[in-house]
């Protein structure tokens, strides 16, 4: 039976397991990843895995949660600055930060994200989408003229989902036909043109 660890020692072990799970996930993908690999990388015995998690899936859930929390934690502090920017600059700033986040630690998170777009894992994407949605909502407060846009929720829904997927896919491509800068500019321009023309009749 998995227990909630309260001591520091335990917390450190849980952390090591999650970190190891992320690394194994990044390297092998979710199918090939084994509990033995995770335990070895975490520097503990396989049995200990089950002291902290009910089963393998619970470990991956925790790893996914970690990924999502870190992503949210990366975005949230940017908000105060972003909401005051011109829309195209916002997108630039946001996506370059997103890229840096994905590529740090030898692309640890990028390689995890590659496997994350199975729609089954959409539950985990939810918080990321929400924080981005919040960002855009706050943006509206600072730019009230935009509230006249048609069907804002639908537009945001499309833009967020499409952009996140497109960025991850692009970064995962060995030889893309376009550069990251071109990608970002295109995404920025698309949102900019939308916000300047699609007003409610």
* Sites of contact with DNA (CB under 7 A): 3, 5-7, 9-10, 13, 32-36, 43-52, 55-57
d(CA 150, CA 155): 8
Say if residues 152 and 92 touch (Cβ distance below 8 Å): no
Q: Of these partners, DNA, a copy of itself, none, which one is at the site of residue 158 (CB under 5 to 8 Å by kind)? A: a copy of itself
Shortest Cβ distance from residue 192 to DNA (Å)?
46
Q: Is position 123 an interface residue for a copy of itself (rule: CB under 8 A)?
A: no
CA dihedral over 35, 40, 44, 46, signed as positive or negative: positive
Would you give the distance in Å from CA 100 to the centre of its chain? 12
Best CA proximity match to 29, nearest among 116, 122, 115: 115
- In the DSSP assignment, the letter for residue 54 is S
Three-class SS string for 6-38?
Answer: CCHHHHHHHHHHHHHHHHHHHHHHHHHCCHHHH
Say if residues 10 and 37 touch (Cβ distance below 8 Å): no
Choose the stretch contacting a copy of itself; rule: CB under 8 A; options: 16-24, 46-54, 72-80, 116-124: 116-124
* Angle subtended at Cα 61 by Cα 57 and Cα 62, rounded to the nearest 5 degrees: 120
Choose the stretch contacting a copy of itself; rule: CB under 8 A; options: 10-18, 23-31, 54-62, 89-97: 23-31
d(CA 158, CA 154): 6
Residue among 7, 80, 119, 201 that touches a copy of itself (CB under 8 A): 119
Residue among 48, 114, 124, 140 that touches a copy of itself (CB under 8 A): 114
Residue among 13, 30, 39, 87 that touches a copy of itself (CB under 8 A): 30
Shortest Cβ distance from residue 45 to DNA (Å)?
3
Residues lying near a copy of itself in the complex (CB under 8 A): 29-31, 114-115, 117-120, 122, 150-151, 153-155, 157-159, 161-163, 165-166, 168-170, 172-173, 177-178, 182-183, 185-187, 189-190, 193-194, 196-198
């Amino acid at each position: 039976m998995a227990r909630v660890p309260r001591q520091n020692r335990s917390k450190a072990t849980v952390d090591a397991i999650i970190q190891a799970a992320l690394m194994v996930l990044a390297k092998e993908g979710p199918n090939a990843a084994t509990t033995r690999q995770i335990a070895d990388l975490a520097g503990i015995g396989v049995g200990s895995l089950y002291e902290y998690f009910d089963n393998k899936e619970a470990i991956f859930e925790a790893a996914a949660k970690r990924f999502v929390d870190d992503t949210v934690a990366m975005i949230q502090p940017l908000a105060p600055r972003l909401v005051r920017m011109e829309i195209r600059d916002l997108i630039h700033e946001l996506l370059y930060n997103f890229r840096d986040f994905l590529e740090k630690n030898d692309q640890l998170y990028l390689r995890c994200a590659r496997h994350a777009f199975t729609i089954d894992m959409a539950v985990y994407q939810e918080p990321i989408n929400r924080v981005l949605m919040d960002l855009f909502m706050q943006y509206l407060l600072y730019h009230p003229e935009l509230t006249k846009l048609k069907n804002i929720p639908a537009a945001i829904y499309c833009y967020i989902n499409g952009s996140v997927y497109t960025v991850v896919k692009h970064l995962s491509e060995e030889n893309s036909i376009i550069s990251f800068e071109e990608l970002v500019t295109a995404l920025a321009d698309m949102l900019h043109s939308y916000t300047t023309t699609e007003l409610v009749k």
